[in-house]
A and B are shown apart, each in its own frame.
Chain A
Amino acid sequence: MTKKTEDVYGDHISHQFNDDLADLKANFLEMGGMVEQQLNSAIIALMENDGELADEVRAKDKEVDRMEVEIDEEATRIIAKRQPAARDLRLVISVIKMVADLERVGDEAKKIAKFAIGLVEEGQAPRGYIEVRHIGQHVGSMLRDALDAFARLDSEQALRIMKEDKRVDEEYQAATRSLITFMMEDTRNISRCMAVMWVLRALERVGDHACNLAENVIFMVKGEDVRHTPVEEAERIVGR
């Protein structure tokens, strides 16, 4: 199985076409790794009150943006020159959509870094760090698994990520409820609690983007669009 997925885009008559698609995939995964790193660093910066690290994250976002543009150009070139069809077309189209999601994850990381810097200046929030760590780990692993599913063309893993997203939403709801309760009890810390609230919101969005990546992986592998479809339907498609 692994062997098959390894060269599924690499057996064209045209070696150049093989190389083009391989480069596209490699660059996408590189961007994914970079974004993953950004998210991790942003969460650490927040948890450990590390302003310097947060600054780094903000600076590095430019690099993520640059990669997005480059990959888009690469994909456009492939469409113009190769007129890909079927699974090749689905790969290129999915990459175009997925880089947008990755870039947005990068933006969320940058946002988290910004709040981390604010909290370094204001002093740490009294509550919410456990939730940030927990949800942060959760969405971080979803993102990693989504990139992994892309690399291995694993639609079953992608399906699991889609299901995970529901849990993240629940965790996010629970965390905000408890923070709201805390803010009502102790109004002095509202602004700092709000910062944490925004961070949680950003993490929840990362979960959504990971879910989008997963949907695209299913599209690439199965050729069916599972966006806006019930999970049962996605299960049926993946199970085929």
Chain B
Amino acid sequence: MTNLKHPITASAEVKSESKPTVDQEVRTEEGIAYGKTVGKPYSDNAKFTLRDVNVFYSDVQAIKNISLDIAKNEVISFIGPSGCGKSTFLRCLNRMNDSIDICSVQGRLELDGVDIYQSKRDVVELRARVGMVFQKPNPFPKSIYDNVAYGPRIHGLANRKSELDDIVESSLKKAGLWKEVKDRLATPGTGLSGGQQQRLCIARAIAVSPEVVLMDEPCSALDPIATARIEELISELSQSYTIVIVTHSMQQAARVSHRTAYFHLGHLVEVNDTDKVFTTPEHELTESYITGRFG
């Protein structure tokens, strides 16, 4: 049935100048033939335009010539077996890899058409626009209020205390945490439960009004109820933000995302509408992974 298909003809909506230029040939690695990414990696409405991205840790190549668009207000999930490069790729999107000396990123990575790896580019400003939520909730050892207010303060988003109060309240409301903490904003954020802490981190991330929120396995340390809350939150947030989520839970990817991208050994194997990926994936490798045949 679905045999290896390569190379795909890029979907019709691709503008000719944005077509990737390299990587037309088929490579073989560990007996698996990789072609160009199958499915729908490109979008007319791109927030992120990523072309021919290669990432190296010293001389080990972690990301191999990946080209992908991430559309405005879409929820896209990255799935794949451990070590496939999905987190590395996610961390490229707000230059989190900069802090790793041996890591080098090549290729074209544009946010709204502007290269995010320009040397003169302000990384702090980039990270305000592209927020991040991590696997383990990591609130600052400060009060709930200060956790959320931290970002707006350093970015000078509020002139008066009342403005800051508004930002804190609306962020906590968006993160679905306001009702639970409104009477104890001065207590430490670390005193909350795991699920609440994660929502606090989401509130902290969205307090600076980012355009994109990156989530690196945001639910892997949470129980099913807290997970359901976060997932609910993701679908609400997608109205105003672009969300990129790395997850080990395929069901989670199936539930929350519009598109799903499957990574394998540093290659982007397939990107397709989530509905398609989980019912009739185009690539044999995707099929094997989502049906539990390897991983």
B-contacting residues of A (Cβ < 8 Å)? 11-14, 17, 82-90, 221-224
A86 in contact with B295 (CB, 8 Å): no
CA distance A89 to B251 in the complex (A): 13
A85 in contact with B291 (CB, 8 Å): yes
B280 in contact with A12 (CB, 8 Å): no
CA distance A87 to B250 in the complex (A): 15
* Nearest-neighbor residue (CB-CB) of A10 within chain B: B293
CA distance A223 to B284 in the complex (A): 13
| B156 proximal to A (CB < 8 A) | no
Q: At the interface, is chain B mostly helix, strand, loop or mixed? A: loop
| B178 proximal to A (CB < 8 A) | no
Known: A13-B294, A86-B279. A221 touches B250 (CB 8 A): no
Known: A221-B1, A222-B1. A86 touches B278 (CB 8 A): yes
CA distance A17 to B293 in the complex (A): 10
A contact residues around B189 at 8 Å (CB): none
* Nearest-neighbor residue (CB-CB) of A84 within chain B: B291
Contact digits for B1-31, partner A, Cβ 8 Å, 1 yes 0 no: 1100000000000000000000000000000
CA distance A13 to B281 in the complex (A): 19
| B273 proximal to A (CB < 8 A) | no
Contact of B280 among A11, A83, A84, A223 (CB under 8 A): A223
B contact residues around A82 at 8 Å (CB): 292
| B268 proximal to A (CB < 8 A) | no
B292 in contact with A86 (CB, 8 Å): no
Q: Please, how many residues of chain B have a CB less than 8 angstroms from a CB on the other chain?
A: 16
CA distance A224 to B280 in the complex (A): 8
A contact residues around B278 at 8 Å (CB): 85-86, 89
| B271 proximal to A (CB < 8 A) | no
| B234 proximal to A (CB < 8 A) | no
CA distance A209 to B267 in the complex (A): 44
Distance in Å from the Cβ of A80 to the closest Cβ of chain B? 13
A90 in contact with B279 (CB, 8 Å): yes
Known: A83-B251, A223-B279, A223-B280. A88 touches B1 (CB 8 A): no
B contact residues around A222 at 8 Å (CB): 1
A85 in contact with B293 (CB, 8 Å): no
Between A and B, 22 residue pairs with Cβ closer than 8 Å are A11-B293, A12-B291, A12-B292, A12-B293, A13-B292, A13-B294, A17-B292, A84-B291, A85-B278, A86-B278, A86-B279, A86-B280, A86-B287, A86-B290, A87-B287, A88-B291, A89-B278, A90-B280, A222-B1, A223-B1, A223-B279, A224-B280
Distance in Å from the Cβ of A63 to the closest Cβ of chain B? 33
Beyond the given pairs A86-B278, A86-B290, 20 more chain A to chain B contacts, judged by CB atoms under 8 angstroms and listed by A's residue number, are A11-B293, A12-B291, A12-B293, A13-B292, A13-B293, A13-B294, A13-B295, A14-B292, A17-B292, A83-B251, A84-B291, A85-B250, A85-B290, A86-B279, A86-B280, A87-B1, A89-B279, A222-B1, A223-B279, A224-B280
